[in-house]
Amino acid sequence: MYDEKLLHQIKAKANGWLSPEYDEATRKEVKILLEKEDTTDLIEAFYKDLEFGTGGLRGIMGAGSNRMNKYTVGAATQGLANYLKKEFAALPQISVVIGHDCRNNSRLFAEISADIFSANGIKAYLFPDLRPTPEISYAIRKLGCQSGIVITASHNPKEYNGYKAYWNDGAQVIAPHDRNIIAEVNNVSSVKDIHFKKNPALIQLLDETIDKLFIDDLLSISLSPEAIARHKDIKIVYTPIHGTGITLIPDALKAMGFTQIIHVPEQDVVSGDFPTVVSPNPEESAALKMAVEKAIETGADLVMASDPDADRVGAAVRNEQGEFVLLNGNQTLLIYLYYLITRWRELGKLEGNEYVVKTIVSTELVKTIAKKNGVKLYDCYTGFKWIANVMRQNENKLTYIGGGEESYGFLAEPFVRDKDAVSGCMLLAEIAAWAADNGKTIYTLLQDIYVEYGFSKEKGISVVKQGKSGAEEIEEMMKNYRQNPMTELAGSKVIFIKDFAKLTGKDLIEDETVSLNMPTTSNVLQYFTEDKTKVSIRPSGTEPKIKFYVEIHGKVDAREDLAAAETAADAKIAEVSKSLGI
C-alpha cells in the first residue's frame, strides 16, 4: 500500500505530463495510467526520476519520469549538453559521439539526442546504424571528442532501454562529472528547457572508416599470429543474439585469418524483440542454446556469443569427452589474463611496470597469477568505469595488460575505455589457436591454470525485488547484514569483513579496524573466512536485484583431482547460501 500523500504527489506529477509540451502519444499513455483503478503502474512510472547508476540511465520504456522516453532522454541530453558547455567553454567547437544498439527506440533516442546536442551548438558524430558499445568509446578518443553517449540497456529484457554517458577519455562518467551532470539534468525543470530543434549543420553521420580503423587497431594487439596461421581453420560458431556484434565481430575474426566462422542465421537478425531467446544475456545458458546446437551440428570447437551492445562475451568449449560446457565470467577472465601474461613473458614484453585489473567481486585467483608473474594487480569496484579509472590514473606511467570482471566483461586493448566483446571474441579465438599449437584445448588450458595456481569456483546468486517496494526491501536486507554481521559461513570462521559503504575493514583476528583505499564509497559488503571463502553482497546498480557472489577455494595436484574439487565446492556453495538465508 502507498500512502495518500505520496499518491497525491505522483498524480500531480503525472498531470503535468498532460500539458501541450508533451506529444499526443505520451499524453494518451499518461491519461490511461491516471484513469486506471489500480495505481501500481502509475506509481512505478512516476514515483521517482531516472538516475545515473553504474552506467547511466536504464529503465523500462514508456511514459513517465521513471521511464525511458524522449523526454527523460531529452532531459539527460540537455543536462549533459549544459555541463559540457560549462566544462569546455574555451573550446571553439565541442563534439560528441552517439551510438546505439538494436533495441526498440534506440535509433529514435540516438537521433533525438543528436538533435538536442546540435541545437545546443555541440557537434554530434552519429553512427549511421547500430554499433558495438566499445566502438563508441574508441571513436570518442579517435575523433578527439569531449563526450559521447550510447543508447543501450545491455542484456536487460526487451522492455528496457538505457543511456550511457562517456567522458573525453572514452570512459563512462564518474565523480565529479556524474554528480554534476545529474545536477544539470535536475535543473531541466520543464520540457521547455529541452532544445529539440536540431541544427543539421552540426550533425555528421560517420561512415565505415571508423569501423576499419577500429579493427586495424585491434589486429595490432594480437600476440600469436603464427599460431592463428597454423590453426586458421578452427571452426567457430558466433552469435550476436540479435545485437550489434553482427556489424563487426565476424569481419574482425576473418581479418585475423580465421576461415571457419559459422553463423546462427536466426540470431543474425537484428531485433529489439530478441525473438529466439527469453533473455539476451550471454551469462545464461539458454541464450547460447542455439549456438551450441549449431556447433554440435557442424563439429565446431568454440562457441561465442556477444550481448546486444557487444561489450560482453559468453563462451562454450568442448570438455575432454567432447561435450560442450559453458565458461563463466571468472573462468574467461582467468583464461584471458593467464594467456596475456604468459605470452607477454614469452615474448620478452614483461619489464616490471605492467599491471592488470579486476573488480572486487571477481575471483581472487587472478591475484595469485599476477603475483607469481611479477605483475601488479588493481582491485576496483564493479562497473567497467572503475577499470577505466585505473587506466586513466596509470596512463603514461604503467603498462596495461588487460582487465575484466566476473560479469563477462573484458578489455585487452589500451585504446578503449570500456569492456569489449569485439576484442574479447578475437582474443578467445586466438587463445584457442595458441592452445591447439601447444596440444591443448581451452578447456584443458583452464584445467592447467587450476593445477598450477589453485582451484576456485564461483557462483553468483541474484535475488530479484521489483519496483519501489523491492528497492526498499533490498535496502532493508543490506541494513540487516550490516547490523548483524556474519561470524561464520558454512562452518568456516569469518576473519575479515570489508564494508565499502564506510570504507572500513574489520580484522576479526586482531580485533582492529583498517581503512579501505578506494576512490569513493560503494554499497558493498564482503566476508572472508579461514578457508579462503569469499562472499560479496551488493545491490545491482542497473537492475532490481540484490547480488551475492560466492567464491570457494581448494587445492588440486593434477587434472584428475578437479572433479572431486568441483563437487566439494558445489556442496560448500550450497552451505554458504543457506548461511546467508538465500
CA 246, CA 10: separation in Å to the nearest integer?
Answer: 42
CA 62, CA 60: separation in Å to the nearest integer?
Answer: 6
Instruction: Give the up-direction half-sphere exposure of residue 241: CA atoms within 13 A in the CB hemisphere.
Output: 36
| CB 321 within 8 Å of CB 143 | no
260-263 β-sheet, strand order:
260-263, 235-239, 302-306, 313-318, 324-327
Residues with catalytic function: 154
Q: What is the DSSP string of 267-306?
A: HHS--TT-TT-S---TTSGGGGHHHHHHHHHHT-SEEEEE
**186 phi and psi, to 5 degrees?**
-65, -25
Burial class from Cβ neighbours inside 10 Å (0-12, 13-18, 19+) for residue 365 reads buried
Looking up cell 556477444 gives 306
CA 293, CA 169: separation in Å to the nearest integer?
Answer: 41
**127 phi and psi, to 5 degrees?**
-65, 145
CA 489, CA 469: separation in Å to the nearest integer?
Answer: 29
CA 499, CA 516: separation in Å to the nearest integer?
Answer: 9
Looking up cell 521511464 gives 67
| CB 535 within 8 Å of CB 542 | no
Residues 6+ apart with CB under 8 A from 323: none
ω into 176 cis (within 30 of 0)? yes
| CB 221 within 8 Å of CB 245 | no
For the chain, the first-to-last Cα distance in angstroms comes to: 26
CA 434, CA 346: separation in Å to the nearest integer?
Answer: 13
